[in-house]
Every structure is written in structure tokens, then in C-alpha cells.
């Protein structure tokens, strides 16, 4: 009997709670839906389309008949959920309207519903990122795909900063949904893989000098096409030098111009660093196409990349303040943008230079060509050397030659008389 009473009392306590909970549910409605990026514009969340996850301003505003009920943000899955008092008809509006547009600005709801979705429309970036082996600008099935990620950064229309990235799939294609704003694409730096951006062939290619591309769809369009093409990098910088004015020697304290001509013989744009080795002079000024490494007078970096096939003249004015300065030894530093130099024999230039003290007289090298002496039949005089006979001293006696001559004359006379006797 006691057990029965206890059960009855427990039931009496529980039933009101259940009834109260049910009554509370009857007094509320639940409105929920999805924020998604509607690529094809059909207002339906399709496979391959992305949700608009929680973030600043990603929410709905719920307005009652006379007052604002509140705002409800999305979660990581792009869904929002609003539990509202039952009664009036509510207006649910999207407050994420600055960075995206939509065909559904608001919904009305007076009872629980789960289909109050908001399809968003920004811009859709796509293209191919690959190694263009044959250089035709088109992704071929056998051309490699790299592991680098295309990045997009910038400021959206609300003023917030945006950052997104995408990696190419097995077919080389990449895709990225973007909000509206001033955005820039940055290609991955693949120098560690021996790759560099290829020369642009079409409007949708990335700038191979900056590695970037400003984004923006054409008027009335949402799609943006950007291809990120790479080539096997061959960096090759050649260096030549000259001194002006050209002289046999220079006086201590004199100023001269050293011109370094930098030529890009590779297939990628580079901005090399130039170094003056064993520099024993004073840097007075330099051309404005280079910067000087802080704390030095002999290390210079080219400001803008030099395109393949082009060259750049860097002019340095130096003061010769050291008699021991014997040569202008210039070199282009290896490892341009992380790429090795394919030919290290042509990026060093050496010019001898002679610095003398003031008042020192140095013979001037004649530039006049010597004139050849006219040919004659006169036997040239024999230069006197050693003895006073007027003949060159050979170490042999002259009388031996005189005796031989006498014998030859006697033999000739005998032959002459023999011939006359026979004729007679």
C-alpha cells in the first residue's frame, strides 16, 4: 500500500512538468534555414555548392509585428535556428547583404518551418593552375599539377578583410567562391620546385612579374577566370662593366663612373643583387634603379625585375680614395628569388684600374700604329756587338773563311786552263 502511494505521488509530480513543457512548446515556433553560395543561381542548395558559415554579420534579423525580436547567427554548418514566441507573423531578413547579393531578401513565418534558406551570390573564381610544359597556354592531360595553393585576399564591401585559398584538383582546375569587394589573387611561389610563372599569353593569365592579379567580374557577370601557369625556371643573369672616362691611370681623389650592364638571358623575370668585391673606394651616388643594402656601399639590389631578353644599366659614381684599389670586381649574386643561376660564368665582370698619387707622371700608351719600313735591296747594316771589327761576334775565326775562299779561286783557275788546252 505504501509503495502504491509513493508511485502515485511521483506521477503526480511528473505529470505537471510534462504538461508544462508541452504547453511551452505550444507557445513557441522554430524557424531555421541555410545560408549558401548559390553558384548556378537556381535558389537551391546543390552538390558542390558551399555554405556561408558563421562569421561577422552572417545572421538573420527577426522582426515581429511591432518590434525587433532579435538576430540569430549561422553556425559552422551555415544553418541558423530561431525559437520564437507563437503568435504574430514574423519577418525574417538576411542582414548579410553587403558582401553578397541574393534573390531572397526576406521570408514570412507564423509557424515552425525549416526551409527558410538564403541563397547568396558573390563572384565565382575558377581556372587552371599547372605546369605549361609545351607553352601553349592550355592545360593538357599529361601536364603536371603542383601542390601550391592559389590565395585570394583583400577588403570586402563591409570593410572586413577576406582571405581564402584553393588548390587545384587532379585535372588542374581550381574553384573559389568570393564575396564582393576589392580582392587580389596571389599565385604560389614554387621556386623551391624549380618552377616560375610563365609569360602571360591571354588576358586571364597571372602577371609573371608581380605574381598577382586584381579580381573583378565584367559588368553583369559573376564568373572570373584566372589561369596560373608555370614553366621550368632557367635563371641566367649576365654582367658587363665599363669605366668612364677611360684612362691609363686615375689620380687619387678623382671621381669616375662605373656602369654595370645587367642582361637577363634566362626565361623568368628576376631582380638580382649586385656586389662589388674587394671594394676600396668611396660610393658617391648611384642610379635610381637600385637600392643600397643598409650599412654598405658595395651591395645593390635592382628595384624592378628584369624581363627575359632585356637589360638594365646601373651607374655608380665612385671616388678613388685608395692607392691599393687595383680592379673593379662586380658580380651578380646567385639565387634569384630562390632560383639557382644556370650559368655562373657570365655574371662576374672584372676591370683593372690604376690609382696614382697626385703629381705622379705615368707614361701614356701610344695609340698610333707603327708604319712599316719600305722594302729595299740594300743589305741591312750589321749591328755592332762585342768586338770593334764591325762584324757580329759569333765565336768563330774569320781567317778560316778567307782560306776557304782562296782554295775555291785556285780550283776555278785550274779548270779554266784545262778547258783552253783541250780546245787547242
pLDDT per residue over 282-296, tens digit each? Answer: 999 999 999 999 999
Whether 124 has a pLDDT exceeding 50, the answer reads yes
DSSP H or E run through 4: helix 2-26
Of 93-107, 124-138, 148-162, the range with the lowest mean pLDDT is 93-107
Same fold? 2-120, 123-232: yes
CA pair distance 123, 96, nearest whole angstrom: 15
What's 206-243 look like in SS3? CCCCCCEEECCCCCCCCEEECEEEEEECCECEEEEEEE
The whole-number pLDDT of residue 160 equals 83
The whole-number pLDDT of residue 94 equals 87
The whole-number pLDDT of residue 56 equals 60
* Cα 93 to Cα 20, 54, 58, 116, distances in angstroms: 32, 16, 11, 10
- What are the sequence ranges of the domains in the chain? 2-120, 123-232, 237-356
The whole-number pLDDT of residue 26 equals 67
Give the strand pairing for 348-352 and 327-332: antiparallel
Percent of the chain with pLDDT over 90: 56
Whether 249 has a pLDDT exceeding 80, the answer reads yes
- Length in residues, the chain: 424
Conformational region of residue 35, where left means phi above 0, alpha means psi within -120 to 50, and beta covers everything else: beta
Of 101-105, 152-156, 264-268, the range with the lowest mean pLDDT is 101-105
DSSP 3-state of 44: coil
The whole-number pLDDT of residue 356 equals 97
CA pair distance 287, 290, nearest whole angstrom: 6
Residue 80: partners with Cβ closer than 8 Å, 6 or more residues away: 32, 33, 35, 59, 60, 72, 73, 74
Instruction: Over range 214-238, report the average pLDDT.
Output: 91
Give the strand pairing for 149-156 and 161-167: antiparallel
Average pLDDT, the chain: 81
Q: Which segments of 348-398 does DSSP mark as H helices, in order?
A: none
DSSP 3-state of 11: helix
Residue 148 · residue 129 · CB < 8 Å? yes
Whether 352 has a pLDDT exceeding 90, the answer reads yes
Percent of the chain with pLDDT over 70: 77
Instruction: Over range 232-257, report the average pLDDT.
Output: 96
How does pLDDT run across 158-179, given as a tens digit for each residue? Answer: 788 999 999 999 999 999 999 9
Instruction: Over range 311-322, report the average pLDDT.
Output: 97
How does pLDDT run across 175-221, given as a tens digit for each residue? Answer: 999 999 999 999 999 999 999 999 999 888 999 999 999 998 877 78
How does pLDDT run across 2-40, given as a tens digit for each residue? Answer: 444 444 444 444 444 444 444 455 689 999 999 999 988
CA pair distance 244, 240, nearest whole angstrom: 14
* Cα 266 to Cα 193, 234, 307, distances in angstroms: 17, 5, 9
CA pair distance 39, 50, nearest whole angstrom: 9
> What is the distance, to the nearest Å, from the Cα of residue 336 to the centroid of all Cα atoms in its chain?
9
How does pLDDT run across 69-99, given as a tens digit for each residue? Answer: 999 998 889 999 999 999 889 999 988 767 8
Residue 77 · residue 92 · CB < 8 Å? no
Predicted confidence band of residue 362 (pLDDT cuts 50, 70, 90) = low
Whether 393 has a pLDDT exceeding 60, the answer reads no
Q: Which CATH number fits domain 123-232: 3.40.50.970, 2.60.40.10, 3.30.60.50, 2.60.120.10?
A: 2.60.40.10
Whether 392 has a pLDDT exceeding 80, the answer reads no
The whole-number pLDDT of residue 198 equals 96
Q: What fold, for 2-120?
A: Immunoglobulin-like (2.60.40)
Provide CATH code, domain 237-356: 2.60.40.10
Amino acid at each position: 500500500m505504501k509503495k502504491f502511494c509513493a508511485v502515485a505521488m511521483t506521477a503526480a509530480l511528473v505529470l505537471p512538468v510534462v504538461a508544462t513543457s508541452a504547453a511551452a512548446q505550444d507557445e513557441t515556433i522554430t524557424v531555421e534555414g541555410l545560408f549558401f553560395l548559390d553558384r548556378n543561381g537556381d535558389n537551391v542548395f546543390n552538390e558542390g555548392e558551399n555554405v556561408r558559415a558563421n562569421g561577422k554579420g552572417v545572421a538573420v534579423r527577426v522582426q515581429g509585428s511591432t518590434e525587433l525580436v532579435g538576430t540569430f547567427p549561422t553556425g559552422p554548418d551555415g544553418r541558423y535556428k530561431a525559437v520564437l514566441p507563437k503568435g504574430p507573423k514574423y519577418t525574417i531578413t538576411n542582414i548579410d547583404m553587403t558582401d553578397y547579393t541574393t534573390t531572397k531578401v526576406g521570408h514570412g513565418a507564423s509557424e515552425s518551418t525549416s526551409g527558410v534558406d538564403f541563397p547568396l551570390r558573390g563572384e565565382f573564381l575558377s581556372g587552371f593552375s599547372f605546369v605549361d610544359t609545351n607553352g601553349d597556354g592550355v592545360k593538357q592531360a599529361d601536364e603536371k599539377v603542383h601542390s601550391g595553393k592559389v590565395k585570394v585576399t583583400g577588403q570586402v564591401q563591409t570593410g572586413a578583410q577576406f582571405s581564402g585559398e584553393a588548390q587545384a584538383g587532379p585535372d588542374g582546375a581550381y574553384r573559389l567562391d568570393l564575396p564582393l569587394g576589392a580582392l587580389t589573387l596571389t599565385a604560389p611561389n614554387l621556386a623551391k620546385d624549380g618552377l616560375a610563372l610563365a609569360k602571360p599569353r591571354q588576358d586571364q593569365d597571372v602577371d609573371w612579374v608581380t605574381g598577382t592579379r586584381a579580381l573583378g567580374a565584367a559588368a553583369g557577370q559573376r564568373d572570373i577566370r584566372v589561369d596560373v601557369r608555370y614553366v621550368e625556371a632557367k635563371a641566367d643573369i649576365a654582367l658587363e662593366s665599363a669605366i668612364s672616362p677611360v684612362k691609363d691611370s686615375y689620380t687619387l681623389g678623382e671621381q669616375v663612373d662605373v656602369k654595370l650592364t645587367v642582361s637577363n638571358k634566362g626565361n623568368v623575370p628576376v631582380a638580382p643583387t649586385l656586389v662589388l668585391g674587394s671594394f676600396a673606394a668611396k660610393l658617391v651616388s648611384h642610379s635610381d634603379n637600385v637600392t643600397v643594402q643598409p650599412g654598405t656601399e658595395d651591395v645593390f639590389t635592382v628595384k624592378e625585375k628584369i624581363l627575359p631578353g632585356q637589360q638594365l644599366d646601373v651607374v655608380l659614381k665612385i671616388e678613388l680614395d685608395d692607392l691599393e684599389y687595383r680592379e673593379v670586381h662586380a658580380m651578380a649574386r646567385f639565387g634569384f628569388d630562390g632560383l639557382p643561376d644556370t650559368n655562373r660564368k657570365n655574371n662576374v665582370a672584372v676591370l683593372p684600374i690604376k690609382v696614382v698619387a697626385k703629381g705622379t707622371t705615368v707614361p701614356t700608351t701610344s695609340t698610333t700604329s707603327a708604319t712599316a719600313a719600305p722594302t729595299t735591296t740594300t743589305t741591312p747594316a750589321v749591328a755592332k756587338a762585342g768586338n770593334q771589327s764591325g762584324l757580329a761576334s759569333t765565336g768563330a775565326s774569320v781567317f778560316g773563311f778567307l782560306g776557304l775562299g782562296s782554295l775555291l779561286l785556285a780550283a776555278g783557275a785550274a779548270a779554266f786552263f784545262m778547258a783552253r788546252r783541250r780546245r787547242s
